[in-house]
Amino acid sequence: MPFERFEKVLNWSDFYYRRPWGKEPCFHVTAQNEIQIIKSSVLDRYLYRADMNEEGMHELAVSVNLFKLAAVHSMGGIFSINEYGTVIVPAYSNYDGYAIAAVGRWTGDMYFLDDDGSRFSLGEDFELGDPWPYSYLGMKYNLSKTNSIYRVLDPDEGEQCEPLLGYDSLIHSLRRIRPYGPMTFLVNPFGCVLAKKVEGDEFPACYVCKLDYDQWFPDPLQPSAAKELSREEIQDTVACLNRKRNYMTKQEQKFFDALLQIYWANGKTLNEPDLIQNLLKLKKRYLTGE
C-alpha cells in the first residue's frame, strides 16, 4: 500500500515550512475524508480533487483527520507531505494551542482530477525550464545570492539557517532559471524541484529537475551512516578543511566555523550525524584529490 500509517504518532520538531494561510497551494482534507489541493481559505474552492479510488488515499485522509480530532477535537484542515513522503499534520485551536505530528509515510505517485475528470500526477517529469502546469506545492528552500542552498529551520524563531553543501548540479539548474540574486524554490512530495522565473511582471512556475536524494538534506526519520565515522577520521578531515577555509563560500565558512565550535567544545569530536554528513560533503568538495 502506498500509505504506511505509523503505529505511534511522532511529534514533529524537524524542518517544516508553514505557509501563510491562503497564499500558496496546500494539501487539505475535508471532514468527510476527501483530499484536495486548495489555495483559498474558502474551503469549497479547491484547485484539484484527489482520486480517492486510488489505493491508500482513504487511509491517508483518515489518519490525518484522526490526529486533528485527537489534538484539537475537530476534523478537516491542511497538511503537508515532504520530499521523503512523511505526512506532516499541523493542528491549532485557541484552546489547545499548536501541535505538529508525523502520522505516516506516502510512497509512489498520487493522482488528482482536473475539471474535466482527467487524472494527473504531481510527480510527472518535464525538461528544465518547462512551465509547471499543476499546483506550485512543496517544501520551501532557498538559494542565496552567493549560490549557497539553505533552509530556514524555524521562521517563527528568526533566520536560523542550515546550509546544504556540495549539490552543485542543482545550483547550476536553478541559475538557469534565475541567473542572479537570491531565490526560493520548492521540492514537492514526489521529488520534483520547482521554481518561479521572471518574465516581465510575471513569475510563472517552472520545472527544474528531479531531486538527487543522495546529495540532499537527510531524511530525519532514517539513521545516518555517518555515525560510523571514526574520531581519527573526523579530526583529520577538520584539520585539512581548516587549511582550505579561504576557498569556501561565505555560507560554507559560516557553517564550518559553527562546526569548529562544536568540535572543540566536544573534545575534538562530533556526535551529530547530520553535522558529520555535511563535514563529508565539504571534504568531497575541497579535499578530493589531496
245-274 pLDDT per residue, tens: 888 877 778 878 888 888 888 877 777 776
pLDDT, tens digit (0-9, with 9 covering 90-100), for 76-133: 999 999 999 999 999 886 665 678 999 999 998 999 998 888 899 999 999 999 999 9
Query: Which one of 154, 182, 215 terminates a domain?
Result: 215
Instruction: Identify which has the larger pLDDT, 15 or 137.
Output: 137
What's residue 186's pLDDT? 96
Q: Both 107 and 129 in a single domain?
A: no
Reported as a pLDDT band with limits 50, 70 and 90, residue 23 is low
Same domain, 49 and 93: yes
Identity of the highest mean pLDDT range in 40-49, 96-105, 212-221, 246-255: 212-221
Q: Greatest CA span in the chain, whole angstroms?
A: 64
pLDDT score at 225: 47
For 279, the domain range is 225-286
Tell me the residue type at 31.
A
CB contact at 8 A, 196 and 206: yes
Output the CA–CA distances (angstroms, integers) from residue 42 to 28, 76, 90, 211, 229, in the order listed: 12, 13, 18, 33, 52
Q: What share of the chain is helix, strand, coil (3-state, %, to 5)?
A: 30, 30, 45
Residues 137 and 238 in one domain: no
* Pair 242, 140: CB distance under 8 Å: no
Q: Give me the residue label for grid cell 536553478.
A: 174
The neighbour count for residue 110, using CB atoms within 10 Å, is 23
pLDDT at position 149 over 50: yes
Indicate if the pLDDT at residue 233 is higher than 60: yes
154, three cell numbers: 524555524
Can you tell me the mean pLDDT for 20-49? Answer: 77
Give the count of domains, the chain: 3
Residues 185, 205: one domain?
yes
Among candidate residues 215, 240, 268, the one where a domain is terminated: 215
Residue 158 has pLDDT above 70, yes or no: no
Shared domain for 234 and 207, answered yes or no, is no
- The amino acid at 120: F
Q: Is residue 220 part of a domain?
A: no
Q: Which of 109, 139, 142, 130 is nearest to 209 (CA)?
A: 130
Q: How far apart are the C-alpha atoms of 208 and 255, rounded to whole Å? A: 26
pLDDT of 40 > 60? The answer is no
Measured N-to-C along each axis, helices 250-265 and 273-286 cross at an angle, to the nearest 10 degrees, of: 130
| Same-domain check for residues 160 and 133 | yes
The pLDDT of residue 275: 75
More confident residue, 189 or 152: 189
Grade residue 226 by pLDDT with cuts at 50, 70 and 90. very low
Q: How far is CA 137 from CA 23, 28, 35, 37, in A?
A: 11, 12, 14, 9
Cell numbers at residue 188, please?
Answer: 514537492
Question: 163 and 251: one domain?
Answer: no
- pLDDT tens for 175-196 read 999 999 999 999 999 999 999 9
Q: Report the C-alpha gap between 255 and 251 in whole angstroms.
A: 6
Please determine, for residue 155, whether its predicted confidence score (pLDDT) is greater than 70.
Answer: no
How many Cα atoms within 13 Å fall on the side-chain side of residue 154? Answer: 6
pLDDT for position 76: 94
Shared-domain flag, residues 92 and 104: yes
**Residue 259 belongs to a domain:** yes
Does 158 lie in the same domain as 99?
Answer: no
Cross-strand pairs, 97: 93
In a domain, 205, yes or no: yes
**Dist. CA 37–CA 28, nearest whole Å:** 6
116 plus 148 within the same structural domain = no
Centroid of chain to Cα 98: 21
Q: What residues form DSSP beta bridges with 10?
A: 102
Our measurement of the distance from residue 63's CA atom to the centroid of its chain's CA atoms, rounded to an integer in Å, reads 21
Mean of the per-residue pLDDT values of the chain: 85
Question: Do residue 134 and residue 238 come from a single domain?
Answer: no
Does residue 210 share a domain with residue 260? no
Instruction: Name the grid cell of 241.
Output: 578543511
